[in-house]
Amino acid sequence: MDQTETPEKIDISELSQVDTKDSEAAREDDKIIARRLLWKIDLRILPILTLLYIFAAMDRSDLGNAQVAGMQKDLGATSKEWTLVASLFYVGYIVAQPIGTLYLRRINPPVIFSFACCLWGVLTILMLTTKNYGQATAIRVLIGLSEGLLQAAPLYLSLWYKGSELGTRGAIFFSVSSLAGACNGLIAYGLESNFSNKPPFAPWQWLFLIEGIMSTGFAFIVLLLLPPVPENVRFGFTADEKRLAIARSVEAYNTVDAKIDKGQIIAIFKQPLIYIFMAAYSGTIVSLGSMSNFMPSIVQGMGYSSVNAQLMTVPVYAVAFVSTIFFGHLSDRLQIRGPLVVCLTAFAVVGYLIVLIVRTSDITRYIGLCLIALGIYPCVPIILTWSNVNIIGFTRRATAISTINMVAQVFAIVANLLFTEPPYYVNGIAFVLAFMFLSMSSSLIGIFYLRSQNKKKRAAQNTPEASVNRDKSFEEIGNAHPDFFFTL
């Protein structure tokens, strides 16, 4: 077969031969191909997903910038009504998540992600036509519905990357959400500075128009260039690269052509682990959602004009970007997740205490915002990676990811509804602070629980039950398999 041909099917039995070929030369060839494959995945999949997420994050968090740019005033919305516009986005976000994750293989990742991108782009453009808070709320719910489909992206990454590689890639992928906040601040600053009197639109309307057009156009790139799952690639990868891509996926405890198993959906809820991750992740998302929606208003309350408040959000997001990349990579280097979450959450707790208590020093409060960004942003990809590497099997992973996200977003709605008293938002910040402690304590519980489970697994390695389970697949029994050990 020609080197550049990509066969329709790969004999799965060949996967066991990837690292045990007869000749030493063949094994060396595989190492070279494997390095080339990883570079290809990094250069082809990661940039597309990263840009996709930055457009989603921009369209999700632009509401805070639009508020400062005059949207709330133009719509005649009260503080409570504006809180509904921000909060009910998560209703659609929650509904769409299980669809995106559970049907990722069946519908095909390029189709799901490009459709979502096009839809939220068009809806963001329509935001500029709103005349009252009711219309804005309805469109925001639909934007949330489309962006919720993108939450299947961590599951998609777990099909292409090994568990030891996910922390760094997840951090790169997610770090752009902080860049999105910085981009929104810069765009809004430029529009307010130069387009404040440029008909036919107000600055906040120009913001939605520009960002919506960018997302809509990028959707077609996603559809054309993003690869499907490894076993279904048709172009861009050689036959050997496809073989090794499937082998890497199997090594990450994925099963080729796995289908949704309803029995496993029920089984995952019998594991304490999903509730530990649920609590840890809920704390981070409660913080993240409220921060992206209300930080421009908090900064404006420090005495900045609406134009300068937009600009002053940029350094905070820059801190979040650097922190996410650094700690995500560190989690891969050290191969630990939980202890980093505990430490990072502690930074965020200090930041929230400063913002909540300090009233006389705006500089100190601004440092508090930077501490929050430093701590909370890297926690999101690290917790998702922690979940992905410890909950194995396609159905279990898909169910866990969607459920963990859905529960977290419900609490995010509640948190946003409490941000009704600018610029200090005492009730909202106090609620978020409580969830920071929940995230920290549940992560500590997770560390000790996983350590005890590993100890039990090692003690039971040679039991008759282990011998029976060793003949079963990882897809069938998940992390109960005797050869699987948990990552702290």
Q: What is the pLDDT of residue 10?
A: 42
CA distance 256 to 254: 7
**pLDDT in the model for residue 310:** 72
Give the mean pLDDT of 254-262: 79
Tally of structural domains, the chain: 1
pTM: 0.80
Most confident stretch, 82-91, 252-261, 355-364: 355-364
Is residue 381 predicted with pLDDT exceeding 50?
yes
- Note the pLDDT of residue 257: 77
Across the chain, mean pLDDT equals: 85
What is the chain's length?
A: 488
pLDDT value of residue 11 = 45
Is residue 13 pLDDT above 80, yes or no? no
Spell 90-107 as b/e; 16+ CB within 10 A means b. bbbbbebbbbbbbebbeb
- Highest average pLDDT, of 191-200, 236-245, 337-346, comes from 337-346
Q: Specify the pLDDT at position 174.
A: 81
More confident residue, 189 or 488: 488
Are the beta carbons of 434 and 348 closer than 8 angstroms?
Answer: no
Residue 233 within a domain: yes
For 16, 31, 82, 159, the CA distances from 253, given in Å and listed in that order, are 14, 20, 45, 9
**How confident is the model over 67-83, as a mean pLDDT?**
85
Is residue 248 within 8 Å of 160, Cβ to Cβ? yes
Asked whether residue 16 is domain-assigned, the answer is no
Over 90: is that where the pLDDT of 213 sits? Answer: yes
Q: Which residue is listed with tokens 């908090």? A: 298
Concatenate the DSSP letters of all residues of 356-410 into one string. Answer: HH--S-HHHHHHHHHHHHHHHHHHHHHHHHHHHHHS-SHHHHHHHHHHHHHHHHH
Tell me, what CATH number does 460's domain have? 1.20.1250.20
Quote the CA–CA distance of 255 and 479 in Å, as a whole number.
14
- Domain hosting residue 223, numbered range: 22-480
pLDDT band for position 170 (cuts 50, 70, 90): confident
- The pLDDT score that the predictor gives to residue 369 is 94
User: How many CA atoms within 13 Å lie on the side-chain side of 66?
Assistant: 31
Bond from prior residue into 230 cis (ω within 30 degrees of 0): no
User: By the 8 A CB rule, do 381 and 174 touch?
Assistant: yes
Taking a C-beta distance cutoff of 8 angstroms, is the pair 372, 291 a contact? yes
Cβ distance 483 to 470 under 8 Å? yes
Share of the chain above pLDDT 90, in %: 35
Q: Is residue 451 domain-resident?
A: yes
Report the candidate in 277, 304, 298 with the shortest Cα–Cα distance to residue 443. 277
Higher pLDDT, 279 or 170: 279
* Alpha-carbon distances, residue 450 vs 41, 83, 274, 343 (angstroms): 31, 39, 12, 18
For residue 191, what pLDDT is reported?
A: 66
d(CA 104, CA 111): 9
pLDDT attached to residue 6: 36
6 domain-assigned: no
The pLDDT value recorded for residue 288 is 87
**Secondary structure string (H, E, C) spanning 114-168:** HHHHHHHHHHHHHHHHCCCHHHHHHHHHHHHHHHHHHHHHHHHHHHHCCHHHHHH
Q: What's the mean pLDDT in 124-138?
A: 92
SS3 485: coil
Specify if 2 maps to a domain.
no
pLDDT on residue 67: 82
26 or 393: which carries more pLDDT confidence? 393
* Separation CA 143–CA 151 (nearest Å): 13
The residue type found at 38 is: L
Assess if residue 4 is contained within a domain: no
**Least trusted range by pLDDT, from 26-40, 116-130, 161-175, 176-190:** 176-190
- CA–CA distance, 185 with 175 (Å, rounded to integer): 16
Backbone φ, ψ for residue 198 (5° rounding)? -110, 100
pLDDT at 199 over 90: no
Structure token digits, residue 415: 């948190």
Residue 3 lies in a domain: no
Q: Tell which wins on pLDDT, 176 or 448.
A: 448
**Quick check: is 205 in a domain?**
yes
Q: Which residues of 303-335 are buried (b: 16+ CB within 10 A; e: fewer)?
A: ebebbebbbbbbebbbbbbbbbbebbbbbbeee
Least confident range of 203-217, 271-285, 293-307, 429-443: 293-307
